[in-house]
Amino acid sequence: MELLESARAVLAEGPICDACLGRVFADRSHGLANAERGRALRVTLAMLDDEPLEPAGDCWVCEGQADRADEWATWAANEVADLDFETYQVGTRLPPLLEANDDLLREEAGLEPDAGESLKRELNREVGKRLGERVGGDVDFERSDVVVLLDLEADRVRVQVNPAFVYGRYRKLERGIPQTEWPCRECGGAGLTEDGEHCEYCNGEGYLYDVSVESLVAPAIREAMGGTDATFHGAGREDVDARMLGTGRPFVVEVEWPTDRFPEVDSLEAEINERAGGRAEVEGLALATYEMVERVKELPATKTYRATVRFETPPTEADLEGALAELDGATIEQRTPERVSHRRAAKVRTRKVFAIDGDLGDDGTATIEVHGEGGLYIKELLHGDGGRTEPSLAGLLGVDVEVTALDVVAVEAEEGEFADPAFLREPPARPGRDA
């Protein structure tokens, strides 16, 4: 009887549709749609009170919006028809008047402010269900591929396309190539000075290097996904004059507003490598989720380097072996190197050398291989950086050491794998997808 009395109070406020009548009591019964619940209450009260069954006018609460779920769903389906997605979410923006009506309905009927279900939530659910029936896919309230916004005030559907992600590892096969595009520090990438003059520092190019790993890899991925822009995220970065060899360095390319989230990665990998022309190459491309960006950027990693060094006075094999033995397993203190002090804060960092070995060549040079903790400055470990790194190979030998070549041969996570299977995606199996 309490439910019927509350329903009478709601009906007394003015003409109301079945959906709005039923949804304020959504928490009191289950298994029925709001419109079905409202209709059942209306029929019951019409029989008990001998009142007219149909409302005498348009619903004063939703002003007819609750009956537009099919219309909104069809409209939304048309808006996303050219997009490739697996998950979606529907949101609703109500005009202030309808939000006020929704609150007033409960207040005037003596119900709790959060009683039942709001108009916004009902539209999200009902339109979302119908949209799924039309286009397929699954609802995802955490991080969906697309977000459909029903803007009732503007009477339009807006679509937000969330980024898509491709994971892989790259090898940089030439020296003198930065990982990402490097805007000129003088003109900020404009190619012109503040006075509008030709920037001499970058020769008006806006960038200090003509090519980067990013420029060799990201454009092909962006084009394959039909995106508007792409951002390259690497698991750290090697020096411009260092190659990245061996197992390669993990990366993720983030593509904005993709129309195709599920390109064929094997052919995409081949295309990237062909375009790169031997300057870089990728392998292990896989579709990924947004969590992979943070994993690649934040997961602690160890690095293995191979360096060629030249000595001011070549050491004996015994002296070199002794110095390397002292560095093997040592904890190194490094002040911010001179070469990066213009862009990094001055501080002292401690990093571990897990293993180090080397061979002395006949020409007085040596090949040194170092497995170290992430963030260990390898060049400084070897040449000492004027005493800013302690201990160092140069300091232990008591001679000047020059690093003439440096290669990264392995980047591995300290714990687990970079390519966590939980953050990888497979193309959805949808009928007609590959037709």
Catalytic residue numbers, as ranges: 239
Are 335 and 348 spatial neighbours (Cβ–Cβ below 8 Å)? yes
Element (H, E) at 240: none
Q: What is the distance between the alpha carbons of residues 385 and 388, in angstroms, rounded to a whole number?
A: 5
**What residues contact residue 164 under an 8 Å CB cut-off, 6+ apart?**
145, 225, 227, 254, 255, 258, 261, 287
Are 243 and 407 spatial neighbours (Cβ–Cβ below 8 Å)? yes
SS3 state at 287: strand
State the residue for tokens 């966590």.
Answer: 420
How far apart are the two ends of the chain, measured CA to CA in Å? 57
Q: What is the distance between the alpha carbons of residues 189 and 204, in angstroms, rounded to a whole number?
A: 9
DSSP β-ladder status, 146-151 and 156-161: antiparallel
Element (H, E) at 249: strand 243-256
* Residue 221: both structure tokens together: 């991925």
SS3 state at 151: strand
- Complete DSSP assignment for 132-153: HHHH--EE-SSS-SEEEEEETT
